[in-house]
Amino acid sequence: MKRLILLFLILGNVTLVFAQANRQGHYRWRNDDGTEETATWIEAEDTPAEAMQYTNVRLRVEYMRDVSDSGIPFALFYYETSAVTDWFVGTQITTDGSVNAFKLTETIYYDQDDNALDRLTTTDGYTHALGWCNELTEVLFKDLVDGADVEVEWCIQPTANAVLNDSYFIAMKLNGNIGYESYAFVPELTIVENTLPVELISFSVVPNDEGLLLTWQSASEINNLGYIIEQRFSLDEDWQQFASYQTHAELEGQNTTTTQTHYEFLDSNFYNKDKVWYRLSSVDSDGKVNVAGVVPVDLTSATPHQFALDAAYPNPFNPETTIPYRLAIDTQVDLRVYDILGKPVATLVNGEKQSAGHYTVKWDGTNANGNSMPSGVYFIRMQAEGKSFTHKVLLVK
């Protein structure tokens, strides 16, 4: 009997060791208003925070590893509405925010795979061997060091599907697997109402043959007369206004609306500079100017540094949507539309050889025969240089 009890205790201890072999450690919520070196923290380490819908937030997560994983491990990001479950299942956070409460998004303040600075507290003798900043990579493959912890800083954005005043709990899973009992700390985020006059979903600048195309999308607007655009060519310069809603009709606002609105403005100038910054601001009916977003553009090369299929806009759409993509080198491109069953609907780019650069293509919601497709979810898939990218779009009629 004593032997059985001893065996039970030994097995119990072994189970505990394995349960804690991989643990999610310290975390810190971070805002998105500064560079990696100078950004401020929203809250102290291991402290819950709040975030507004359509506003970028960044979460630094520490993952502690004691055991070896076969192959090159990968990290995924999840959210859950409860922190009291026995096993954290959750919903994976991807670049698609049409259904989920969060989406992976871009920030102008660091690049993909930048070193994650401002390290978290070292715990229980663990060493901070590696750390990366991650934006749009849904499955992050990294060659991790056995027996050392890793930090990843994810950039996410609460979407219209996030329930106001509800708390969400976040997890980074290595190889898609971590138990709730293996949490040292559970990141918590409460979603609050966005009180800004303009809820900006996106703001980007894409070089093309005609100049620099500024595009942005608002989720809603309150008493918005329109937008002004400013630029500068170094951080030491003052902002200079070069376009406004008073001089350009395409910059006029929607006054008050709760529907998504897409805007475009072409800066047709070609600058003999290394870099340019654009600042987008809205002006309300009281004349108050509210900064909506800032985007830096590298003018030394219009060639993208990586392949990417960017988010289509508008989305949901009717009757057509624009699909941007980027090519890092000259290559053949295949871009097609599939229905929810995986059946091909339309071919937008049919294996054509294209030069490195930025591209856009439109889909008008029709199939290969020119027939209009019914309302529903469709998938845009791009294949280039052995890589495959997929985004979801919603056709609404």
Q: Interior CA angle at 113 toward 109 and 119, to 5°?
A: 75
180: three-class secondary structure by DSSP: helix
- Per 3-state DSSP, the chain is made up of helix, strand and coil in percentages (nearest 5) of 5, 50, 45
pLDDT reading at 296 higher than 90: no
Contact 59, 20 (CB under 8 A): no
Instruction: List the one residue out of 236, 313, 325, 228 whose CA is nearest residue 278.
Output: 228
The CA R_g of the chain, rounded to the nearest whole Å, is 23
- Buried/exposed 239-256: b ≥16 CB within 10 Å, e otherwise: beeebbbeeeeebebbee
145 vs 370, which has greater pLDDT?
A: 370
- Predicted local confidence at residue 215, as pLDDT: 93
Instruction: List the one residue out of 189, 206, 239, 250 whose CA is nearest residue 53.
Output: 189
The single-letter code of the amino acid at 382 is M
103 vs 258, which has greater pLDDT?
A: 103
Cis previous bond, 158, omega within 30: no
The DSSP bridge partners found for residue 214 are: 205, 265
Q: How confident is the model at residue 338 (pLDDT cuts 50, 70, 90)?
A: very high
Q: Tell me the C-alpha distance between 77 and 174, whole Å.
A: 9
**CA dihedral for 197, 315, 141, 191, sign (positive or negative):** positive
Q: Tell me the C-alpha distance between 90 and 20, whole Å.
A: 20
Mean pLDDT score of the chain = 81
pLDDT for 223-271, tens place per residue? 899 999 999 988 788 899 999 999 999 999 999 887 889 999 999 876 6
- Predicted local confidence at residue 86, as pLDDT: 53
H helices present in the chain, as ranges: 2-19
Distances in Å between the alpha carbon of 241 and those of 111, 198, 269, 279?
Answer: 27, 19, 14, 9
Least confident span in 22-26, 60-64, 68-72, 295-299: 68-72
pLDDT reading at 299 higher than 80: no
